[in-house]
Amino acid sequence: MSEAHLPQRAQLRLQASWQRSQDYGVSVEEVDPLFAGTFDDESLFFECGREALAGLLVSLPGEPVSLMLTDPDGLVLSRVSGDPSLLRALDAVHLAPGFAYAERTVGTNGLGLALADRSPTLVRSAEHYALSLRGYTCAAVPVLDPATGRVEGCINLTTWSEQGGELLLALAQSAASTTSALMVARSSGGRSRPPARGHVFRVEAPRLEPGSGTVDALSPPWQDALAEAAGAARLGRGVVAVGETGAGRSTLLAQALRRVHPRGRVLAASPPAPQDSEAWLGLWTPELGKPDTAVLLRDADQLPTWVAEHVRDLVLRARVRAAATGAGSPTFALTSAGLDTLPAALVGLADAVVVVPPLRDRADDVMPLARHAARRARGREVAFTPSAENALRSCGWPGNVGQLIEEATRVATRTDVVDVRHLSADVLSGSTRRLSRIEAFERDEIVRVLARGGVSVQEAAAELGMSRATVYRKLAQYDIHLPRAGR
């Protein structure tokens, strides 16, 4: 790639992206994105982003620029341009609505890198990973939810490679700012976001597989389950990972399948709403049985009976074809809460059952996962004080890894050094019963006051308007665990 004109930070970002693209096994010849299916076209972000792009398009009559809106995973939601020839060229490389253009599927590109780094990004022709994209220059800017700071999606502008890039990036930043301003205005006006129509489903490459920055060097229970799954997959056996929701079933299988197919594709399909079942089957089943593709079916216990039966028939036919041609057995894996919850049609495909332990039984995994999530959220290393580490390790994590990732991501957006005072009351409280709104408020206030540090129970009682004995009783009632407070 051409680097002479790039600032050092931009060079490092591009180099890191190229390395990740290579680790993902992305083709350097041409892009092969996945068609992702339905999406929510009634969200506040989609409405405001489309309006911002329409306004920008008016100021660019006939210019060879395509303006796009994507979701947080790189799925192209809308695309407009005043240049039909550019649109036809973009269709040829699948940079079109309905296709996922994340970094992991097509390699280094503007919108993929902008979403990966949560930063405005300009990728010129030769800086693209895939050769088929080197005829374009792309500028992309993430759009954050003004209320939560969560990435809602991305504004992406693409033009021919010979066009200027700096102006393109400025235009993308302007459209992103307009989108955010519209979201703020409409949110403050009391307008609630309409619910999505049906379930938004995707067929995608799993996010937490080796090469994407995941953590696989975890505790012995995780390593044992991972080795078991990889061993079964290597023998061509159908593998089902069972365990609690959020324990990491899909992640474990994705890591196992990546061990077996280090340069192949690992596709993951999550159950759709019943009305989307036929379209969903059409998206991923053509990939079944391809020698360089492994298929992971998430939450298979949520499939309707007729869909499960159809999946079974497809897998069995793929196995028969493979046996007749001497090819390897199709690599197929699925996740479920338990073997007893699988639809009867799929039980016969589960040649090997791997149990994924919940996070509460893997305390040694808590801090590696927390640091990983915090680093991804903040873009740099985040430190944890000993008291914060103790609190995180002591938590029972009823929501498993998903809850831990959410907590670590939340605190990492606020500080470079996480202390116990930054942690939520849910982490510091061991109560497993459902609290009323009043109880939850009371618990949160007690945690807020005592977590400041240097506050004695007597001082906390005075601030909370309680007696010292009541504070102690409430600490026991809500099972609140804090660093040793002054008496």
The predicted-structure confidence for 205-219, as pLDDT tens digits, reads as follows: 444 343 344 666 789
Question: Hey, where are the domains in the chain?
Answer: 8-188, 203-357, 361-477
Cβ atoms within 10 A of the Cβ of 195, count?
Answer: 9
Q: Is 147 left (phi over 0), alpha (psi -120 to 50) or beta?
A: alpha
Please state which CATH number belongs to domain 8-188: 3.30.450.40
pLDDT at 157: 95
Distance CA 289, CA 31 (A): 21
Per CATH, 8-188 and 361-477 having the same topology is answered no
Q: What is the DSSP letter of 11?
A: H
Provide the pLDDT for residue 227.
Answer: 94
Residue 180 pLDDT > 60:
yes
| Residue 29 scores a pLDDT above 70 | yes
Q: Quote the percentage of the chain above a pLDDT of 70.
A: 83
pLDDT of res. 453: 67
Residues in contact with 316: Cβ distance below 8 Å, sequence separation at least 6, in sequence order: none
Considering the entire predicted model, what is its pTM?
Answer: 0.57
**What CATH topology corresponds to 361-477?**
Helicase, Ruva Protein; domain 3 (1.10.8)
Q: Which helix (H) or strand (E) holds 427?
A: helix 425-428
How confident is the model over 64-76, as a mean pLDDT? 92
What is the full DSSP assignment across 348-377? TT-SEEEE---GGG-GGGHHHHHHHHHHHH
Q: What confidence score (pLDDT) does residue 109 get?
A: 94
Q: Give me the pLDDT at residue 209, please.
A: 40
Backbone angles phi, psi at 370, to 5 degrees: -65, -45
pLDDT on residue 258: 83
- DSSP for 247-278, written as a single string: SSHHHHHHHHHHHH-TTSEEEEE----GGGHH
Cβ atoms of residues 284 and 295 within 8 Å? yes
Residue 159 has pLDDT above 70, yes or no: yes
Residue 207 CB contacts under 8 Å (≥ 6 apart), including other chains = 104
pLDDT at site 444: 67
Local structure of 413: helix, strand or coil: coil
Cα–Cα distance for residue pair 58/18, rounded to 1 Å: 35
Pick the CATH number of 203-357 from 3.40.50.510, 3.40.50.300, 3.10.580.10, 2.40.10.480: 3.40.50.300
Asked if 115 and 154 touch (Cβ cutoff 8 Å), the reply is yes
Residue predicted with more confidence, 304 or 282: 304
Higher pLDDT residue, 193 or 470?
470
Helix/strand/coil for 448? helix
Measured in degrees and rounded to the nearest 5, phi and psi for residue 108 equal: -60, 120
pLDDT above 50: residue 463: yes
